[in-house]
Amino acid sequence: MELLFVALFGAVIGLGARYFLPGRSTQGSVLVPAIGTVAAALVWVALTWLGWNWAEGWIWWVSLGASVAASVVLNLVISRRRIHGDQRMLQRLAKTGAPETA
C-alpha cells in the first residue's frame, strides 16, 4: 500500500516539474509525471529490498528526492535535445526543402 502512495507522490512531483520548468511544449503531457512516478517507485522497491523500513522517514525522503532529481534532470535534458533537434530539422528543411531520410 505504501508503494501506491510513493508512486502517487512521484506523479505529483513530476506534474509539478512539468509545469514549473521550461520546455513544456516540447514533450507529451504525461512524460515527466511518468518519469517521477517510475523513479520514486523504483527507488522505493530497491530500498525495501535493501531492508529499509517503510515506517521510518528516510525511505520516503530518499525515494521522493530521487523522483525530484529524475523529473528535473530528465525534463531539462529532453526539452533541450528536442529544441536542438527541431532547430536542426528546420535548418535542413530550409536548405533542401525535404527532410533527411535514413
Note the pLDDT of residue 60: 95
Give the CA radius of gyration of the chain: 18
Please tell me the predicted confidence (pLDDT) of residue 48: 96
What does the block give as the cell for 93? 528543411
- Convert the pLDDT of each residue in 15-60 to its tens digit: 999 999 998 889 999 999 999 999 999 999 999 999 999 898 999 9
**Contacts made by residues 40-43, CB under 8 angstroms, sequence distance 24+:** 40/6, 40/7, 40/9, 40/10, 40/13, 40/64, 40/66, 40/67, 41/3, 41/6, 41/7, 41/10, 43/67
